[in-house]
Structure 1
Amino acid sequence: MNSNDKIFALPALEQQLNVWRGQGCKIVFTNGCFDILHLGHVDYLEKARQLGDKLILGLNTDASISRIKGPSRPLQDEMSRARVMASLLFVDAIVLFNEDTPLELIKAVQPDILVKGDDYSVENIVGQDIVTAKGGEVKTVPLVKGYSTTNIVKKIENNIKLT
Structure 2
Amino acid sequence: MTRVVAQGTFDILHPGHVHYLQDAKAMGDELHVIVARSVNVTHKEPPIVPDEQRRQMVSALKPVDEAHLGHPEDIFVPIERIRPDVIALGYDQHHEVGGIEAALSERGLECDVRRAGPREAREDELLSSGRIIGKILEERG
Q: TM-score range by the shorter chain?
A: 0.7 to 0.9
CA distance in structure 2 between the partners assigned to 1:32 and 1:69 by the alignment = 12
Deviations 1:11-61 (A, max 9, x none): xxxxxxxxxxxxxx2110011110111000001101100111111111112
Tell me the equivalent position of 1:160: 140
Aligned residue number for residue 97 of structure 1: 70
Larger radius of gyration: 1
User: Is residue 2:82 matched to residue 1:109?
Assistant: yes
What SS does the aligned partner of 1:30 have? strand
Q: Which has the higher helix share?
A: 1
Structure 1 CA distance for aligned equivalents of residues 109 and 76 of structure 2: 15
Structure 1, gaps ≥5 residues long = 1-24
By how many angstroms is 1:101 displaced?
A: 6.3
Q: Does 1:54 align with 2:34?
A: no
> TM-score normalized by structure 2?
0.79
- 1: CA distance between counterparts of 2:3 and 2:120? 27
Q: What TM-score, normalized by structure 1, do the two folds share?
A: 0.69
Gaps of 5+ in 2: 122-126
Question: Within 2, Cα distance between the matches of 1:81 and 1:29?
Answer: 17
Aligned sequence identity (%):
26
- Name the counterpart of 1:30: 6
Give the counterpart of 1:43 among 5, 19, 27: 19
Q: CA deviation at 1:95?
A: 1.1
